[in-house]
Each structure stands twice: as C-alpha cells, then as structure tokens.
Structure 1
Amino acid sequence: MTDVRGRVWRDGKPQDDFEFSAISDYLAEPEALVWCDIYDPDHAILKDLATELDLDSWAVEDAIAEAERTKAAVYRSHTFFTVYAVEVKDPPPDDDSESGLEIHRISGFVLPRGLITVRLSPNFDIEAISQRFDELGGQEHGVGSLVHGLLDVVVDSHFDAVQSLDDSIEAVEDDLFEQNARKSLQRKTFRLRKDLVELRRVVLPMREVVNSIQHRRLDAKTSPELDPLYADLYDHVLRASEWTESLRDMITTVFETNLSLQDARLNTVMKKLTGWAAIIAVPTAITGFYGQNVAYPGIETVGGFITSTSIIVVMVLVLYWMFKRRDWL
C-alpha cells in the first residue's frame, strides 16, 4: 500500500502545511524547500507525478525496478540517484546460514527546490532521515542540505554494517583453533563471505554517487557552504570502502587458514595411523610363523613361545619410543 509523507521549509524554517497534491505549488515558491517520501508507489501515481514535475521516464522506471545498482544520473531538469542503506539485524539470527544484514533501497529525484525519495522496503526507518534533517539543520542552504542528510544516514548505516562484519570475522578468527567450534566454522565463514560480497556491491559504488553529486552542482542555488560537508561525506565513503576491502582480505585469510589447519590435522591423523600400523605389523610378522608349515627354532616348545612374545614386546616398545620421539604419535 502506497504511503506518502513529507516536510516543507520556508526560509530554512520547518512548516506544517505539507500536502502531496501541492508539491508542484511548493516547488514554485522561491523561498520554499520540500521533501516528499513515497513508499511502495503505485505506478500510475508515480507516472502522474513524473508528468507534473517533468521527471525523466527512464529514471521513473529505475526507481521502481528490481535489482537496480547504486548510481547517480544527471538529467535536464533533475538529478536521479539510487543508494542502499544497510541494517544490522538485532538480535542476530540464530541460524549461522542466515544473513545478519538487511538491505534497503532508496531512490531520489533531486529538483531545484525539492527532494523526492522512493522506497520499496517496508522496514527502513525513514524517520531517521527526518531526524537527521533536524540535527544537521542548514535547510537555508537549499536542496543540497537534504541530499547530504539522506546520504549521511546511508553512509552511517554502511559503517555499522562494516563494524558488525569486522566483529564477526574476529570471532571466527578466535574459533579457528577451538576444537568444539570447527563444525560450524565453515558455515559461518561462507555466510560472512556472502554478506561481505553483498555489502561491497552497495558500498563501493557510493564513491561515484557522492563524487558526482559533490562536483556537479544540484542546481544553481546550491550553497558553497555545503562543500566541506560533502568533502567530509566523501571521506567517510572512502573509509567505508577501504574498510570493506580490508575485511575481504581478512575473511580470505580466515578461509585459507582454516583449509591449512584441516590439511595439517589430516597429516597428523595419517602420521598417527601410519605409526600404529607399523607397530601392529611387528606382532603380525612374528606370529605369522605359527601359520606356516615349516620348522623354526623353538617350535612346539614353551621357550619358543616365550621368545616370540618377548621379541614382540621389545620391538613394539622400541617402535613406540621411536615414533613418539619424532612426534608421530
């Protein structure tokens, strides 16, 4: 079901008269700034809005299409972008095969005096963006301040997700040498690798989005006071990207180390089995004479039995001592 909400500012001050049907009127006011958020839009409603606000038809299709990549595109009358916020599930799932991250897509149409956001995910906390607008203030600087507030919330969610994956990978590293945790270790590692791949798909392209918005003025009235804020935002995006890349190296190291430990354990098992096989072969070789139809010293005598038994015990002890000394057992 389509849900619409929004806010209006005049001269940088919030107002209480937002109505969806009056968006074009707000945009026509020279001192007004408007934000409208549309959740799960009906295609007809969005198409009518696009006609009213002169939005590009391809951008409108991208806003509601499935599996769109993170991007920013500049059109004649507006700028369109698609970004993904990431939420860490709290509490984390009990099943190691279930992802601990939830991804929400947000598309935006940036107009000279307004920002229209389109969401398809019902679980994204849109109030966090509205609160960030109030925390950052600066609505007198134009629509660029709204776009910055939205992207700032998205990038902060990336940091939370990266931090969560970092903690999970460190926990897996601790479990590498724990005997009891080996069975679930491979499943955890595989799940973390999948989460990391999914996170990289939404984090890395953010550099292009922020860079495009930062270096291409959203409209002629964008205030230069926002340049330091966008530069700081771009720095945060770079840090999140670099952190994500370092996590890929970490999880790869964990995966390879786990394989190496498995090979080492297999070699240890084979070494012990070989040692015990050699020890068992001694009594087999000696007592095998009893099954042969040939005469040998001590046959059918108590002394021969004692001699054979003594040889078995001595050779077994010698082999055991030699293998133990070489750490084969």
Structure 2
Amino acid sequence: MGGLRINGLRISGLRKAVRRGYRRAVDLSHPARSPLGSAVVNCVVYRDGVRQEDCADAEEALRRVRKSGEGFVWIGLHEPDQQEIAGLAALFALHPLAVEDAVHAHQRPKMQRYDDTLFAVLKTVRYVEHEQLTETSEVVDTGELMAFVGPDFVITVRHGGHGSLGPLREALEHDPEQLAKGPAVVLHAMVDHLVEDYLCVTDAVQNDIDSVETTVFSEFSGRGDAGRIYQLKRELLELRRAVAPLDRPLHRLGTEPMPAVPAEVRPYFRDVADNLTRTTDQIASYEALLDSILQAHLAQVTVAQNEDMRKITAWAAIVAVPTMVCGIYGMNFDHMPELHWTYGYPAVLLLMAASCFAIHRGFRRNGWL
C-alpha cells in the first residue's frame, strides 16, 4: 500500500508537471504572452531607478510593475515587423496609427499624444568619414528611433545600423536618482543624446564647408567645385529635416502639462530645446554660407568666361588686320596700286606685322591679353 501511495504521488506529480507544461505552452502561444521575438534587444524592469532583472515575458514584467505600483518596464526593439510588435501593442494598449508608424520607417520627426501614452519619432544622425569631399560623397547618414512612453513603460524602436541605446541605458543606470523619476527620463535622455549627436555632426560638416570655401577662393579653384557645394547643400538639407521638426514638440514638452511627463522633468526638456535651437541656427548659418560660396563660385566662373571672351576677341582683332590686307590684295583687278612694285610684297608683310604688333601691345596695355 505504501508503495502504491508513493507511485500514486509520483504519478500525480508527473500529471501536475505535464499540466504546468501545457499551460505554459498555451500561454506562450497567446499573442499577449509572446510579444518578445527576434527583434527584442532588451526587456528590463526598473524600480526606484535600479535595474531589477531581465524579463523574457513582457506581460509578467508589466504585471510585477503594476502589482507593486512602482517602477517601469523598458523594452528595446530593433526593426520589428508587424507580427512581432502586435503582442506588445495589445499588451500596452498602443494606438494602431502609432504602431504602424513604428513598423514602417521613414517617418517625419514628431511627437504625438494618445490618451496617457506619448509617441515620439526621432531621427538619428551620423557623420560619414571621407578622405576627400566629392560630388557624390555621403556626409550625413540618418536612421530612426521611435519611443512609446506611458506611465509605467517605455518601448523604444530603432531603425538603421547606428543609434544604439546600449551606452545610454548604462549611463542612466549609473544615475538611479534620475532614472527613478520615471519613463519620461528615458525619453529626455534619448532626445538629449540625439541633440548632442546633431551638434557633433554639424561641427564635422563645418570642416567640409571650410575646405570647400578655401578651394573656391584659391587661385587653383576648379569648375567642379559647384558639384561639391551642391552635395553639401543636399546633406545639410537632410540634417535640417532631422533637426528642425523637433523644435516645437520639445518646447511643448518643456512647458505644457503632459500625462507621461512629470513636472520635475520639464526643465530638462527646456534645456534640450535650447540646444536644439542652437543646432538649428547653426545649420541655417551653414546653408547661408554655402549659398554665398556658391554665388562667389558662379561669379568666378563668369569672370573667367569674360576673361576668355576678351582674349578670344583680342586675338580675333589681331588676326583681322592681315586677313583684311590679304583679302584686298587677293582681288583680281588689273589696275591696283603697288601690284607690280618690286618691294610691294615685303612692304605689305611689314605693314601687317607692324599693325598686329601695335594692336597686340594695345590689348596687353588694357589687360585684355
């Protein structure tokens, strides 16, 4: 009887284990319990600004946060597809329009509010190193970074090969007092980091502008400089498209009440907005400088063309004299002065040479030759 009891307990324990495994399999097949796929970079719970543990299940992580009433969940994604983000959208009640923008890249930088969730689209920029600027050189490379910010969660979506948030996450984890202020701190850190990148890229672009400016105003300037100037203008335009649209949203985050942004975090957004304004002004000054350089280059080309035309005109005038004399003495008339004169031929040659010399000297004196 004891043996049967033991066997029965073993059988009962086996049945319980099978049932637990079945329930776990059913839970993982549910879209709300399997949002984490290959696109997930990280899923971490933070409480009081301190990293708690990595999570393999977003629903479990969110349940722990909401059960304790403290902390938030930070989930990082890299280029997810519609299927991979569908579970997270259902779990965190994300707006369908925002989810669609997060899946499909090439969005305009913006910040939109959906109930108590803030959706932000940001542009990441990177300066492309090159030995020499050409007409086809890529100077600025852009990517995209989206963020869903709620009362107790942050979901970041990154598109592109740069703009990793790993260093940013580590920097925030070294400042738990700041991180304890909530998910809005993560958004501020992202925007602040991107604005610093904007400043670094604009400083690097200035070196290219200085190089082009030096070349244009040197005596060895070539006519291919216009292509390089236009290329820089195109790259600056791409940079401005990434920077300028964020000006108004950042000012709103720093001045207007938002459910996802506590009052103590707003001054940080105002500070970032000031740096962004400085970057925008710097880009505008670069564009104005490139316009001036382009106009100066076109003026130089016009002057060079006028110089060429003056030289051609001067040589044409010099050649016109012997052409006229040869044309006159090439006419078939019987009675022409000096036609049968012994010294007529050398006298005509001497006349043409003297006339050409006098005209050439006159053009040289006037700066045409």
Q: Same fold (TM over 0.5)?
A: yes
**Equivalent residue letter for 1:155:** V
The reply on whether 1:324 has 2:361 as its aligned counterpart is no
1:85-137 per-position Cα deviation (integer Å, ceiling 9, x unaligned): 10111346875313221101011101112211111213332223224424665
The SS at the match of 1:9 is: strand
Name the counterpart of 1:30. Answer: 69
1:49 paired residue number: 88
- Stretch of structure 1 that moved more, 69-78 or 1-10: 1-10
The equivalent of 1:147 in structure 2 is 187
Give yes or no for contact 2:311–2:368 (8 Å, CA) kept in 1.
Answer: yes
Which position in structure 2 is the counterpart of 1:102?
141
Mapped partners of 1:207, 1:60: distance in 2: 23
Q: Distance in 2 between matches of 1:57 and 1:203?
A: 26
Give the direction of change, closer, same or farther, for the CA distance of 1:129–1:56 in structure 2 (3 Å limit).
same
SS, match of residue 368 in structure 2? coil
- Structure number with greater CO (CA < 8 Å, separation at least 6) is 1
2:90 matched to 1:90? no
Tell me which residue corresponds to 2:262.
222
Residues 72, 208 of structure 1: 8 Å contact kept:
no
Q: Normalising by the residue count of structure 2, what TM-score does the alignment of the two structures yield?
A: 0.82
Partner in structure 1 of residue 158 of structure 2? 119
2:235 maps to 1:195: yes
What fraction of aligned residue pairs are identical, expressed as a percent? 23
CA spacing shift, 1:310–1:103, aligned 2, 3 Å: same
Segments of 5+ residues of structure 2 without an aligned counterpart are 1-37
Greater C-alpha radius of gyration: 2
**TM-fit CA distance, 1:165:** 2.1
Give a deviation string over 1:309-328, Cα, whole Å, max 9, x none.
Answer: 22112211211111111111
* Residues 202-229 of structure 1, C-alpha deviations (whole Å, 9 max, x = no match): 11011122123223444377252x3332
Tell me the secondary structure at the aligned position of residue 297 of structure 1.
coil
- Residue of structure 1 in register with 2:9 after alignment: none
CA shift for structure 1 position 250: 1.3
Matched, 1:67 2:106: yes
Unaligned residue ranges in structure 1 (runs of 5+): none
Q: Larger deviation: 89-98 or 289-298?
A: 89-98
TM-score normalised by structure 1 residue count: 0.91
Deviation at 1:234, TM superposition (A): 0.8
Query: Please, what is the CA RMSD of the aligned residues?
Result: 2.2
Would you say 1:266 and 2:305 are equivalent positions? yes
Which whole-Å CA distance do the structure 2 matches of 1:221 and 1:67 have between them? 26
1:252 lines up with 2:294 in the alignment: no
CA shift, 1:23, in A, is 3.6
Asked if structure 2 preserves the Cα contact closer than 8 Å seen for 1:39 and 1:122, the reply is: no
Q: 1:240 to 1:220 in 2, by over 3 A?
A: closer
Q: Distance in 2 between matches of 1:202 and 1:26?
A: 37
| Number of aligned positions between the proteins | 328
3-state SS of 2:222 partner? helix
Matched residue SS, 2:80: coil
Q: Residue 299 of structure 1 aligns with which residue?
A: 339
The one-letter code matched in structure 2 to 1:80 is: F
> Structure 1 residues 302 and 163, CA, compared in 2 at 3 Å: closer, same or farther?
farther
Q: Find 2:169's aligned residue among 130, 142, 160.
A: 130
Find the counterpart in structure 2 of residue 14 from structure 1.
51
Which residue of structure 2 lines up, in the alignment, with residue 277 of structure 1? 316
Aligned AA for 1:115?
A: V
Match of 2:34?
A: none
Q: What one-letter code is carried by the residue in structure 2 that aligns with 1:150? A: M
The 5 Å alignment of 1:198-213 reads 198-213=238-253
Cα pair distance change 1:152/1:90, threshold 3 Å:
same
In structure 1, the residue corresponding to 2:155 is in which secondary structure? strand
CA drift at 1:157? 1.4
- What does the per-residue CA deviation read over 1:279-318, in whole Å, with 9 as the maximum and x for residues that have no partner? 0111111222331123433223342122212211221121
Amino acid at match of 2:51: P
Distance 1:209 1:72 in 2: 6
- Output the CA distance in 2 between the equivalents of 1:103 and 1:135: 28
